Amino acid sequence: MELDADAQAAALAAQKEAQKETAQRAEFAKLLNTRSGGVYLPPARLRAMQAAASSDKASPEYQRLSWDALRKSITGIVNRVNIANIKLIVPELFAENLIRGRGLFSRSVMKAQASSLPFTPVFAALVSIINTKLPQVGELVLTRLISQFRKSFKRNDKIVCHSTTTFIAHLVNQGVAHEIIALQILVLLLERPTDDSIEIAVGFTREVGAFLAENSPKANATVFERFRAVLNEGSISQRVQYMIEVLMQVRKDKYKDNPILPEGLDLVEEDEQITHQIQLEEELQIQEGLNIFKFDANYMENEEKYKAIKNEILGEESGDESGSEEEDSEEEDEDVAEDKEGIEDRTETNLVNLRRIIYLTIMNALNYEEAVHKLLKVQLQEGQEIELVNMIIECCSQERSYSTFYGLIGERFSKLNRIWTDSFEQAFNNYYTTIHRYETNRLRNIARFFGHLMATDAVSWVVLDCVKVNEDDTTSSSRIFIKIMMQEMMESLGLKVLAERFSDPEVKHACAGMFPMDIPKNTRFSINYFTSIGLGVLTENMREYLKVRLHPLAFCILLTCTSTECSQADHGATPRDARSRIFVVLRLRLVGFRQL
C-alpha cells in the first residue's frame, strides 16, 4: 500500500508539472499574437517560462523569447555607444544575430540618433563598420532613412526632416551612401525655397559640404550658386537669409568646425567600404516585416549559419568550454593564423569590388580631371594598375559613341607616370590580339581611344610592332580596328604630319609589319589596304620597293646601258627628252632579250 501511495503521488506531481508547462506554453501562445512583445513579466516567472521553452529550441515559444532577448540586447548596445567605446561595442554587436535582427538594429539606431543629434557621427561610424561586413544591414538603414525623409518632407515635418538629413549626411561622409543622394536632397530642398526647406538645406550642407567640396566640386559650386540666387531673391525671412550668409562664411573657412570624419571616427579603410547608390525617387523596399517576430521553420539552421559568419568576422574558432581545450584551440588559432598568410583568394571578391569602385568613380565624375583625381585615390595593390587601365577602356567601349572624356583620362594617366604608360601599352597589345571578340560598336570606341593616345604621344608608337598588315595575319575585325585608329590619328595630326611620323627611323623599324617589304604578295595587300582607307601617301616606299622587285631585269639592263648610248640619247636634248630616249633604249634592249 505504501508503494502504491508513492506511485500515485509521483503521478500527481508529474501531472501538475505537465499542467504547469501547458499553462506556460499557452501564455507563450498569447505572446506570439502580440506585436510589441506582451506585458511586463516578473524575472522569476520569465525564467520559469524560459526553462519550459528551452526544451525545444525550434518551438515558437523559444524563438519568441530569443527574439525579445535579441531586441533588448541590440537596443542596449546601440544606446551605450560613444566615441570612446565604439571599438569595444562593435564586437558585442556582431555577436548578436544582425542578419535576423537587421530590422531591429535599423529601428534602434534611427531612434537613438533622432533623440541625440550630437551623437549622429558616432551612429554613422557604427553603421559604416557593420556595412563593411554585412552590407545588407547598411543598405536597409539607408533605405529607411531615405523613405523617412520622403514621408516627413511631404508632411512638412521639419524636426524629422532635420534629424534624417543629418544622419544621411554623415552616412555620405562615411562612404555608406553615395554623394548623388546628397545632391538630390539639396536639389529637392532648393527647388521651391521656403523658410523651413532652406533651413534644413543649410543644416544639411554644413554637415556634408566638406565631402562635396572635395569629391564633387562642380556640383557643390552649383548648389551654392542656388543658395546665392535664393538670397538675392529675398523671398525668405531675414533669419534664414542670415543662416545662408553664415553658411557662406563656413564654406570660406573650409568647414573647420564640420570635418568630413571627426577625430576618432575614421575607423574604416576606403577600399573596404561598400557604397550604396540609392536614388531619391526610386522605389524603396523598407521591409517593415523585419521589425516584428515571425516564426522561422529553419531557425536552428539559420542560427548555425550566422554563427559561422560571426566566427569569420570576429576571428573566433568554435571549441568546448574546458580550459585545456581552450588552450588547444588557442594554439590551433595561432597555427591557422600562420597558415592563412599563404592562402590565396580564388573567388576574386576583392577584384570585383575594385572594379565596381572604379566603374562608379568614372560614372559619377563630372569631367576627366575629377575622374583622374578620384581614381588616383583608389587603393591599388602592386600589379593592379592594369585592372584600372582595363576598366577605363571597358567603360569607353560600353558607350553608344566614342567620348573624348575617356581619351583625356587615358592621356592624363599616361603623362603622370611611366607605370601607367607601360600599362596602356600592354593593354594595346592585349586588345589588338583579342579584338575579334568585340562587336563593331565596342571595337570602334576602343580603336578611337588608342588613336587618341597615339596622336597625343601618350603612348609610344613602338607598340605598333604587334600589328601585321597582310592577308594571313589580319581578320576583318583587326582591319576595321586599324582603319578607325589610323583615321583618328589622321584627324588629330593631319596627313602630312602623320606621314612624317611614320618616316621616323625608330617608328619605321617598329612598323615593319604594317608596311611589309618581304614578299610582293604582302606588299601589294598592304598598299591596297592603306590606299582604300585614304592613307595611300604612307605606301610610297612600298610602291618603289615593288617596282624594283617586280622588274629586276629592267634594273640590270639599265645598269648595262653604255655611257655612249646615254650620251647619244642625251646629246642635244632637254633633260626630259633625254630620259625618254634612255627608256626607249631600255625598252629596245628588253625586246631583244625577250626574242633571245
How does DSSP assign 192-244, residue by residue?
A: S--HHHHHHHHHHHHHHHHHHHHH-HHHHHHHHHHHHHHHHHT-S-HHHHHHH
Last residue of a domain, one of 245, 265, 291: 291
Same domain, 287 and 204: yes
Cα–Cα distance list, 120 to 125, 130, 312, 421, 507 (Å): 9, 16, 29, 45, 61
User: What is the C-alpha to C-alpha distance for residues 425 and 459, in angstroms, rounded to an integer?
Assistant: 6
pLDDT digits (tens, 9 = 90+) for 503-515: 888 888 888 888 8
529 lies in some domain: no
Q: Does 328 map to a domain?
A: no
- Residue 525, domain member (yes or no): no
Query: Is 481 domain-assigned?
Result: yes
Q: Does 576 fall in a domain?
A: no
Give the Cα-Cα-Cα angle 273, 374, 377 (nearest 5 degrees): 65
pTM of structure: 0.51
Which of 514, 532, 553 delimits the end of a domain?
Answer: 514
Of 28, 42, 115, 47, the closest CA to residue 75 belongs to: 115
| Mean of per-residue pLDDT scores for the chain | 82
Range with the lowest mean pLDDT among 25-39, 139-153, 201-215, 568-582? 568-582
287 band by pLDDT with thresholds 50, 70 and 90? confident
Q: Give whole-number Cα distances, 447 to 172, 395, 432, 458, 486, in Å.
A: 38, 13, 9, 15, 9
Mean pLDDT computed over 369-385: 87
Is the domain of 82 the same as that of 165? yes
pLDDT of 356 strictly over 90: no
Q: Is the pLDDT of residue 320 over 70?
A: no
Q: Which of 484, 514, 544 is the last residue of a domain?
A: 514
- Residue 561: inside a domain, yes or no? no
Q: Is residue 540 scored above 80 in pLDDT?
A: yes
Do 174 and 278 have their domain in common?
yes
Regarding whether 375 and 273 lie in a shared domain, the answer is: no
* Lowest pLDDT segment from 46-55, 418-427, 507-516: 46-55
Region 368-393 average pLDDT = 88
Q: Are residues 362 and 285 in the same domain?
A: no
Tell me, yes or no, whether 176 lies in a domain: yes
When pLDDT is cut at 50, 70 and 90, the band that residue 481 belongs to is very high
Decide if pLDDT at 403 tops 50.
Answer: yes
Q: Are residues 358 and 223 in the same domain?
A: no
User: Per residue in 252-265, pLDDT tens?
Assistant: 998 988 899 988 88
In a domain? residue 373: yes
Kindly state the percentage of the chain with pLDDT values over 90. 38
Question: Which residues, including other chains, have CB under 8 Å from residue 541's CB and lie 6 or more apart?
Answer: 515, 517
373 and 285 housed in the same domain: no
Residues 259 and 358 in one domain: no
We report the CATH number of the domain holding residue 431 as 1.25.40
* pLDDT for position 26: 64
Does the pLDDT of residue 318 top 80, yes or no? no
Task: Supply the pLDDT for residue 559.
Answer: 46
**Judgement on whether residues 378 and 281 belong to the same structural domain of the protein:** no
**286 and 359 co-located in one domain:** no
**Rounded average pLDDT over 419-430:** 91
Query: What phi and psi, each to the nearest 5 degrees, are found at residue 494?
Result: 95, 150
The span from the CA of 108 to the CA of 115, in Å, is: 11
Give me the domain span that covers residue 137. Answer: 67-291
CATH number at residue 181: 1.25.40.180
Q: In the chain, how many domains are there? A: 2
Q: How many CB atoms lie within 10 A of CB 162?
A: 18
